[in-house]
Amino acid sequence: MFLNLVASRELDKSHFCINCENLKPQNIKKVYASNPALLYQLYAIDKSKIAGLVFEFWDLEKKYLDKNVTSLPVVGGFFGQGKTPNIEQVLNLKPDLIISSTNTTELYKDIFSKSKIPILYINALTLEENLNSFQILGEILGANERSKELHKYGLETLELAKEISSKAKNKPKIYYAYGDNGLQTECDKSSFGVLVKIAGGKLIHKCENLKQNSRVNISFEKILDYNPDKIIVYHKSFYDKIFDDKKWQLLDAVKNKEVYLIPRKPFSWAGKPASFMRYLGIRWLLQIFHPKIANLDIHQEAKEFYKLFLYLNLNNNDLSDILNEKN
């Protein structure tokens, strides 16, 4: 059914396909995903079909990823700051399908107009798009059962968050500390702010007239005025020194040891780049924000998640490493 739809080019406003009239799941052996979010989706659904990478993975990421994937050629991609793929190298991959975000439609139309390579335009950045892309990619790649499992986990996470946050009497005030000095943050309506809201918290810094995911500088005096209940930290370099900093010790969150470093192996659970890891990140935030109500065993949650999405059986040392429990 899906392939009949993609052949008509117009699926809905969020995704469509060109040159897909004769595309069949059994013939799709190699896929090039042109941005991190879609590459991660492809990895979770069927990593064997990845044709090339948009960037080289860091060592901390490689530890928890398939070597057959991390050793693939890096051809670049479309993912902000003017980054573009090496078109010749992409063509040399001989992909059976290219998947890219809908905002690259005109770029790819010009670049690949003569190649006739099928191109699926689909987004996976927001949680809604992410869930939707599991279904669409699963069908076009012939991995329906696998995709249904992943989609189910995502939906169950959102339902769990709704249940737990509805029972909470108070929403904790959250500060998101970014950068080596912790004086960069994101606004309440950013993608991170959305996760905080879903988990029943309140990101305290509000911004006007800024792009949704803009990162902004903030003074410590402003943070002191906010006096957050809990602090979520992106960079380990800042996390390692916040408890010993006399200035930051003025905050209740630091006094009460309510400072948490986002797990980032192999991909961030809550920060950028956006990925399916956010579903585990939401459960992690639920336990931080509402520990008595949530009562989640994050070690067990991580074990189950990594096995389902990343094909990994984690041991206790792995869990300690991923959850930043090692010094």
The answer on 316 and 171 residing in a single domain is yes
- Number of domains making up the chain: 2
CB-based contacts of 316: which residues, under 8 Å, 6+ apart?
299
Bridge partners (DSSP) of residue 12 are 15
Q: Which residue has the tokens 């009949």?
A: 4
Residue type for 212, please? Answer: Q
Beta pairing, strands 173-177 & 202-203 = parallel
4-19 per-position pLDDT tens digit:
445 434 445 568 888 8
7 is a domain residue: yes
CB of 141 within 8 A of CB of 25?
yes
**Mind listing the pLDDT tens digit for each residue in 171-196?**
999 999 999 999 999 999 899 999 99
At residue 316's C-alpha, the angle toward residues 311 and 322, to 5°, is 65
For residues 127 and 261, state if they share a domain.
no
173/303 same-domain check? yes
Domain for residue 150, yes or no?
A: no
**Helices of type H across 201-277:** 220-226, 236-242, 252-255
Residues in the chain with pLDDT values less than 50: 1-5, 7-11
Q: Considering the domain boundaries, does residue 45 fall inside one?
A: yes
Do 221 and 309 sit in the same domain of this protein?
yes
Q: Is 284 found in the same domain as 198?
A: yes
Quick one: pLDDT at residue 16? 86
Q: Note whether residue 221 is domain-resident.
A: yes
| Same-domain pairing of 204 and 93 | no
pTM above 0.85, yes or no: yes
**Same domain assignment for residues 173 and 48:** no
- Compute the distance between CA of residue 165 and CA of residue 160 in angstroms, rounded to an integer: 8
CA distance 28 to 240: 46
Range of the domain at 248: 167-322
Residue 147 resides in a domain: no
Q: Do residues 177 and 256 touch, judged by C-beta distance below 8 A?
A: no
CATH number of the structural domain spanning residue 116 = 3.40.50.1980
Nearest-CA neighbor of 136 among 158, 125, 120? 120
- Clarify whether residues 257 and 179 are in a common domain: yes
Residues 222 and 111 both lie in one domain: no
Residues 39 and 176 placed together within one structural domain of the fold: no
At residue 9, the pLDDT reads 41
What single-letter DSSP state applies at residue 179?
S
- Let me know if residue 232 belongs to a domain: yes
**Angle subtended at Cα 238 by Cα 234 and Cα 243, rounded to the nearest 5 degrees:** 115
How far apart are the C-alpha atoms of 294 and 271, rounded to whole Å? Answer: 22
| 70 falls within a domain | yes
Q: What are residue 57's DSSP bridge partners?
A: none
Q: 160: which strand partners?
A: none
| Long-range CB contact pairs, 16-23, < 8 A, 24+ | 16/102, 16/120, 16/121, 17/118, 17/119, 17/120, 17/121, 17/140, 18/109, 18/118, 18/119, 18/121, 19/116, 19/117, 19/118, 19/119, 20/118, 20/119, 20/120, 23/97, 23/118, 23/140
The amino acid occupying position 90 is V
Say if residue 232 is in the same domain as residue 311: yes
**158 occurs within a structural domain:** no
Of 98, 126, 142, the residue that ends a domain is 142
